[in-house]
């Protein structure tokens, strides 16, 4: 099964962490992706640019509405993701506990819906 591990954290709090610690967390995330790849579980992963760089797109009555965003009533923002293969939810949760971002925020674990007819993406 495929799972998306969505990493959430408070960007303000993260920016207050020493740069060396931030780099260490990134290095740990990269190391985790290599371990998952070796185990045949890695599909994709990436940190995201800050929430201030995001735009919100809505289409209403056929008209696109684009606004700066996100304007969400929460202290945590989506910081990045891991797309993995796992045997079941328990294994996906076990992997989520190894994501460095879980120590300063949360990791949401969500199974993907397999949709027939989508283009296949080959690993780089």
SS3 81: strand
Per-residue pLDDT, 20: 96
Per-residue pLDDT, 68: 84
Per-residue pLDDT, 73: 62
- Which domain does 48 fall in, by range? 2-111
List the CATH number of the domain containing 58: 3.30.70.1060
In a domain, 117, yes or no: no
In a domain, 17, yes or no: yes
In a domain, 10, yes or no: yes
In a domain, 11, yes or no: yes
Torsion from C-alpha of 93, 99, 100, 102, nearest 10 degrees: -30
Per-residue pLDDT, 71: 62
Residues of the chain with pLDDT under 50: 124
In a domain, 124, yes or no: no
In a domain, 123, yes or no: no
pLDDT tens for each residue of 1-22: 999 999 999 888 899 999 999 9
- How many domains does the chain contain in total? 1
In a domain, 122, yes or no: no
């Amino acid at each position: 099964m495929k799972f998306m591990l969505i990493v959430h954290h408070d960007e303000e709090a993260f920016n207050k962490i020493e740069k060396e610690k931030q780099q260490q967390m990134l290095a740990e995330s990269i190391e985790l992706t290599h371990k998952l790849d070796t185990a045949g579980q890695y599909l994709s992963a990436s940190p995201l640019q800050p929430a201030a760089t995001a735009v919100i797109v809505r289409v209403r009555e056929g008209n696109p509405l684009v606004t700066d965003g996100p304007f969400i009533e929460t202290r945590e923002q989506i910081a990045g993701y891991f797309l993995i293969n796992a045997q079941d939810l328990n294994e996906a949760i076990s992997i989520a506990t190894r994501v460095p971002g879980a120590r300063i925020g949360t990791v949401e674990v969500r199974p993907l819906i397999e949709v027939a007819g989508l283009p296949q993406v080959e690993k780089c």
